[in-house]
Amino acid sequence: MQATLALAQEAGYAKLSIEAVAARAGTGKHTIYRRWTSKGLLFLDSLLSLNEPALDYPDTGDVRADLRRQIHAAVDLLANPPWGPLYQALVGEAQHDPAVAAGLNERFIRPQADKTIARLKAAQDRGEVSSDFDLDLAMAILSGPLYFQLLITQEPMTHDYVDRVLQALFAGMSPRH
């Protein structure tokens, strides 16, 4: 997996091959194929093996501050190598390989979405968020602009941008008095 990440960083995901990984790792390509059926699945496991800080939410009683802190950490992670460019490549591969898409969703995207929804639910239960706001929709509204900027426009994701997204989200989610 280290060889996979090193080669992906050096040459880019598009030029990554099982043969090159096997040569770098000093093993045969059949050894790799016994565990991973495609370079996309090998890349997924390799990227998710990086020991990066957990993207867990604090619960300070202030949902906006907690979301802000966690999303700033995620943006910082994705704004820099190795995670940022490698994650972009992985999402690109997921568009062409259903097994990679399923693995990415199951092992990274869904767990992160579940953490966000759980944090919003706790806030909803305390009255910080409108009781009738659809929390799955809140998650989509929150993540959509971030993925748009990361993957489509490829403009830098900044803390200011995150703050503006959160402000817009909470304008619609705040309890109505």
> Which CATH architecture fits 63-173?
Orthogonal Bundle (1.10)
Which residue matches tokens 């939410």?
57
Output the pLDDT for position 174: 65
Q: Which long-range contacts (CB under 8 A, 24 or more apart) does 94-98 make?
A: 94/40, 96/40, 97/38, 97/40, 97/41
* Look-up of token digits 């700033």: 72
Is 3.20.20.70 the CATH classification of the domain at 2-48? no
**Over the stretch 131-162, which tens digit does the pLDDT of each residue have?**
888 999 999 999 999 999 988 998 888 999 99
Report residue 26's pLDDT band, with 50, 70 and 90 as the boundaries. very high
Q: Does residue 175 register a pLDDT over 70?
A: no
In whole numbers, what is the pLDDT of the chain averaged over residues? 88
| Domain range list for the chain | 2-48, 63-173
E strands, 7-101, where?
none
- The three-class DSSP label of residue 118 is helix
**At residue 31, does pLDDT exceed 90?**
yes
State which amino acid sits at residue 127. G
Residues 53 and 122: their CA atoms lie apart, in Å, by 23
Each residue's pLDDT tens digit, 84-126: 888 888 898 899 999 999 999 998 899 889 999 999 999 999 9
What CA–CA distance (Å, rounded) separates 149 from 161?
Answer: 10
Confidence of residue 53 (pLDDT cuts 50, 70, 90): low
d(CA 91, CA 102): 11
The number of residues making up the chain comes to 177
